[in-house]
Amino acid sequence: MKKLLFVLLAAAVLGTLGLLPFRAVDAAKLLPVKTIIVTKSGEEYTVDIGAGVRAVGRSLREALDRLREEVTGEVFLPTAEQVVITEPGDEAVEAVAEETEFRPAAGIYRTPEPFPDAKALGAYLESHPSNVTILDVRAALALGQRPRVPVIRAADGGFRVDDE
């Protein structure tokens, strides 16, 4: 009984000080994200979650932090089903794979399109899920291999997914 009382007292103190590893969020303020578009241009990352909501930073983490600061509501990235990278090199792929805020089971793609429409692209990708996930890319990078990421191309007013 004394142990239970001690645990409850410690939780109350930590909660009051804001030191608990979780926090309460009003569900009405959550902004679930379906498609995330990451663009690396020079030394800057742009994160686009659709509806014209974008943020820029010197790193992917900084861009995500700015996104949270600039958007009214709570951006909820773990709901994203796909992450699309518009940079042809591997640097952005590695940054996305290292970002722990993204869901490991989310599909990952590349595209040569500079700023595709996240909503239209997300609708297409719902019916064409990726066979490569962020977790697959993490595993390949951990083994020192170059990850094979499917490529989305514009085709006949829509999109087409090709293996790399």
pTM of the model: 0.77
Token digits for 54? 């974008």
User: Percent of the chain at pLDDT above 70?
Assistant: 82
Q: CA-CA distance, 42 to 79, in Å (whole number)?
A: 28
Task: Kindly state whether residue 82 falls inside one of the protein's structural domains.
Answer: yes
Instruction: Calculate mean pLDDT across residues 21-35.
Output: 67
Q: Quick check: is 7 in a domain? A: no
Residue 2 in any domain: the answer is no
Rounded mean pLDDT of the chain?
82
Number of domains in the chain: 1
pLDDT in tens, 86-125: 876 778 899 999 999 899 999 999 888 766 777 777 788 8
Is 5 part of any domain? no
Query: Per-residue pLDDT averaged across 120-137, rounded?
Result: 85
Q: Is residue 141 part of a domain?
A: yes
pLDDT at position 17 over 70: no
Residue 109 lies in a domain: yes
Given a cut of 70, whether residue 60 has pLDDT beyond it is yes
Q: Which pLDDT score, from 0 to 100, does residue 138 have?
A: 93
Q: Are strands 44-50 and 35-41 parallel, antiparallel or unpaired?
A: antiparallel
Residue at 140 is within a domain: yes
Assigned domain for 83 exists: yes
Confidence label for 144 from pLDDT (cuts 50, 70 and 90): very high
81: containing domain: 27-162
Task: Give the max Cα distance, the chain.
Answer: 70
CA angle centred on 79, ends 152 and 155, rounded to 5°? 15
What is the 3 state secondary structure string of the chain? CHHHHHHHHHHHHHHHHCCCCCCCCCHHHEEECCEEEEEEECCEEEEEEECCEEEEECCHHHHHHHHHHHCCCEEEHHHCCEEEECCCCCHHHHHHHHCCCCCCCCEEEECCCCCCCHHHHHHHHHCCCCCCEHHHHHHHHHCCCCCCCCEEEEECCEEEEECC
